[in-house]
Amino acid sequence: MRPKPPPNYLAGYPVALTEQVQRLIEQDLLADILLQKYPLAHAVRTDKALYDYVLELKGAYLRNAGQLSKVAFDSKLHVIQHALGTHTSISRVQGTKLKSKSEIRVAAVFKEMPPEFLRMIVVHELAHIKEREHDKAFYQLCRHMEPDYHQVEFDLRAYLSHLEATGQPLWSAATVDAVTPLDE
Ligand SMILES: [Zn+2]
């Protein structure tokens, strides 16, 4: 049996770009580039802290978009190409009203990452409360919450490629951002 190929976190990006990332990893240069651009680690380390963080962002942008019943880091959630986190929504009829409850799970690998990456994944999962598919309206909503969304997602995917190739996390020993601000 052949071993499964590693996930290609940069599938869908232009080949020239993915090859450049690959070269930077092989030359052991990507880690420094990422650490220079994102020197700090965020301070959101527990499910409670994550819940508060998600609620604050939701309050700022999606106040009326349903209710979040659960927010948690998930160590069983493997980061794959299109599922960096998960969002599930359950709709059920309660009395005469259709109630919808949402749950957001963020892969545990996000515990030790820069504030920008955490914000990006949370923005992504929050956008799914309103937009189910990864379509134009979805990405528009992501950019509304985080104007730099696309660049940060690319940088995150470059990091995940580095992690896959080297097994070396970059932010476990990084200085923790005192407050992870929602808006600076
Ligand atoms: Zn998604």
pLDDT digit string, tens, across residues 105-151 = 898 889 999 999 999 999 999 998 888 888 999 999 999 999 999 99
Cα 184 to averaged position of ligand 1 atoms, centre (Å): 25
Cα 13 to averaged position of ligand 1 atoms, centre (Å): 16
- Residue-wise pLDDT for 27-70, tens only, equals 999 999 999 999 999 999 999 999 999 999 999 999 888 788 88
Mean pLDDT within 79-101: 57
Q: What is the distance between the alpha carbons of residues 90 and 95, in angstroms, rounded to a whole number?
A: 16
Cα 64 to averaged position of ligand 1 atoms, centre (Å): 20
Share of the chain above pLDDT 70, in %: 80
Cα 20 to averaged position of ligand 1 atoms, centre (Å): 25
Q: What pLDDT score was predicted for residue 179?
A: 63
Please give the backbone phi and psi of residue 41, each rounded to the nearest 5 degrees, phi first.
Answer: -100, 150
161's enclosing H/E stretch is: helix 149-166
| Residue-wise burial string across 146-183, b where 16 or more C-beta atoms lie within 10 A, e elsewhere | beebeebbbbbbbbbbbbeeeeeebbeebeebeebeee
Q: What pLDDT score was predicted for residue 84?
A: 60
Of the pLDDT bands very low, low, confident and very high (cuts 50, 70, 90), residue 101 is confident
145's enclosing H/E stretch is: helix 136-145
- Residue-wise pLDDT for 139-184, tens only, equals 999 999 999 999 999 999 999 999 999 999 999 877 887 765 554 4
The CB-side HSE value for 36 (13 A sphere, CA atoms) comes to: 5
| Residues in CB range of 42: below 8 A, 6 or more apart | 113, 114, 115, 117, 118, 176, 177, 180
Cα 31 to averaged position of ligand 1 atoms, centre (Å): 26
Q: What is the pTM of this model?
A: 0.85
Of the pLDDT bands very low, low, confident and very high (cuts 50, 70, 90), residue 3 is low
Cα dihedral across residues 24, 13, 166, 119: positive or negative = positive
Q: What is the distance between the alpha carbons of residues 154 and 151, in angstroms, rounded to a whole number?
A: 5
